[in-house]
Amino acid sequence: MTQPRPMRADARRNYERLLKAAAEAFAEHGENASLDDIAKRAGVGSGTLYRHFPTRQALLEAAYVDRIEAIAARADVLAAGLPPGEALVEWLNELSAGMIQVRGLKALLGSAVTDGRTAVVTACGESMRGAAARLATAAQEEGTLRRDVEPVDVLRLAHGVATASELADAEGKCIRRYLSLLMEGLRPGPEG
């Protein structure tokens, strides 16, 4: 297996400028920011953008990979300091708030939790699914999460909580309330 060639210095600079421009454009306009505008902001042609990032999804992921990895890592930090059910709820709160605060993040995470027929599961998606699996499994073992709940279900529901909260007040003030309602429905019933 051959190793990819390292980027030339000018290509590396273009890549970094594209990421910076993309993060700014996504923050201003959301995930539908103009790719041509991103290329112009970076001072490169559209062809250069597409050589580095063949799809909008690839650009979104590259622009947000550090943030996604940080959110996924928070799962382990919370799991180390809180009981499993509480860790899951707190992580879902942080995840939902992040989806509202960072324009474009919700779209990226939404594609990470599809059924696999409509989107490629990306490295970011794998990271988020792994974090959700660790927290959900621990909560199930603790008895605070129903056994029939899949980790991807938890991510999809968090996406829904973020969307509902954003519709309610655009700032995420309802996230905790909606998570409380959601978790009540996800707790095991008297029969286990």
Q: pLDDT at residue 117 above 50?
A: no
Q: Which residue has the higher pLDDT, 180 or 113?
A: 180
The domain that holds 150 is classified in CATH as: 1.10.357.10
- What are the start-end ranges of the H helices in the chain? 9-29, 35-42, 46-52, 56-81, 84-101, 105-112, 123-142, 151-169, 175-186
Q: pLDDT at residue 120 above 50?
A: no
Predicted confidence (pLDDT) per residue in 26-69, tens digit: 888 888 899 999 999 999 999 999 999 998 888 988 888 888 88
Quick check: is 29 in a domain?
A: yes
The answer to whether the beta carbons of residues 128 and 105 sit under 8 Å apart is no
Same domain, residue pair 16 and 41? yes
Quick check: is 1 in a domain?
A: no
Quick check: is 191 in a domain?
A: no
Banded pLDDT at 122 (limits 50, 70, 90): low
Same domain, residue pair 94 and 34? no
pLDDT at 88: 97
The domain that holds 39 is classified in CATH as: 1.10.10.60
pLDDT at 18: 93
Banded pLDDT at 119 (limits 50, 70, 90): very low
CA distances from 20 to 26, 29, 30, 44, 138 (A): 10, 14, 14, 13, 37
Its pTM stands at 0.79
Same domain, residue pair 28 and 84? no
Q: pLDDT at residue 112 above 90?
A: no
Predicted confidence (pLDDT) per residue in 133-165, tens digit: 999 999 999 999 999 999 999 999 998 998 898
Range(s) of the domain holding residue 24: 8-54
